[in-house]
């Protein structure tokens, strides 16, 4: 009976040690995430939100543009994170994936879907114009690719513009591939 008591005492000590180790790990992760937020995310998130302000208005055009982005790219938080965060050359694949996961964690906690998709529309890469210049942001894309102001676009054109984000180098305005792909979401225009 004495051996059973010693075994249970040892088991209790091991479990308590394991619990302390687990708590230390959680505390380390929490502190690391908080430090990462203050060092990398906080300096950039407000600038991203400021650039998204024109897309957050409740004008019917902007509201439909955000709705299309949410429906077409629903919960594509990795893509949104990639468009919002500042571009830094990272050579290590694992580090890039972990940092994207941390950014996604923080951004989805700090902002609503409307704000996230507005940030995406303000900073996303939409391909290249005729001269080969990179086009970023929905306003610039409407002007450079469709040759029309964003506010003057028809619903179908806005739908094609948002759909282009699935593969900016694969779609050109008016191309059969873009028209065919965006037709799946034509119900958003009705």
Q: Each residue of 98-135: pLDDT tens digit?
A: 777 777 888 888 888 888 888 888 888 888 888 889 99
Highest mean pLDDT among 45-59, 86-100, 133-147: 133-147
CATH architecture, domain defined by 1-188: Orthogonal Bundle (1.10)
Three-state secondary structure of 39-99: HHHHHHHHHHHHHHHHHHCCCHHHHHHHHHHHHHCCCCHHHHHHHHCCCCCCCCHHHHHHH
Q: Where are the domains of the chain?
A: 1-188
**pLDDT for residue 19:** 93
| pLDDT tens-digit readout, 13-63 | 999 999 999 999 999 988 888 888 888 777 777 777 788 888 888 888 888
pTM above threshold 0.75: no
**pLDDT for residue 67:** 84
Tokens of 163: 């759909």
Task: Please give the average per-residue pLDDT across 81-100, as a whole number.
Answer: 68
Residue keyed to tokens 């998130």: 45
Mean per-residue pLDDT of the chain: 83
Residue 48: name the closest of 75, 85, 13, 79 by CA: 85
**pLDDT for residue 139:** 92
Which of residues 97 and 132 earns the better pLDDT score? 132
| Cβ 161 vs Cβ 138: under 8 Å | yes
**pLDDT for residue 102:** 79
């Amino acid at each position: 009976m004495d051996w059973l008591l010693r075994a249970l005492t040892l088991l209790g000590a091991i479990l308590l040690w394991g619990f302390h180790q687990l708590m230390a790990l959680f505390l380390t992760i929490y502190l690391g995430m908080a430090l990462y937020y203050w060092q990398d995310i906080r300096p950039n998130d407000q600038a991203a939100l400021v650039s998204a302000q024109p897309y957050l208005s409740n004008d019917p055009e902007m509201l439909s543009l955000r709705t299309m982005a949410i429906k077409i790219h629903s919960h594509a938080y990795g893509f949104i994170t990639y468009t919002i965060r500042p571009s830094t050359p990272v050579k290590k694949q694992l580090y890039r994936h972990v940092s994207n996961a941390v950014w996604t964690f923080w951004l989805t906690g700090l902002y609503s879907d409307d704000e996230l998709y507005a940030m995406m529309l303000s900073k996303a890469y939409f391909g290249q114009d005729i001269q080969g210049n990179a086009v970023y942001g929905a306003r610039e894309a409407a002007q450079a690719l469709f040759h029309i102001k964003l506010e003057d676009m028809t619903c179908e054109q806005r739908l094609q513009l948002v759909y282009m984000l699935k593969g900016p180098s694969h779609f050109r305005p008016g191309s059969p591939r873009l028209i065919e792909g965006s037709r799946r979401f034509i119900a958003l225009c009705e």
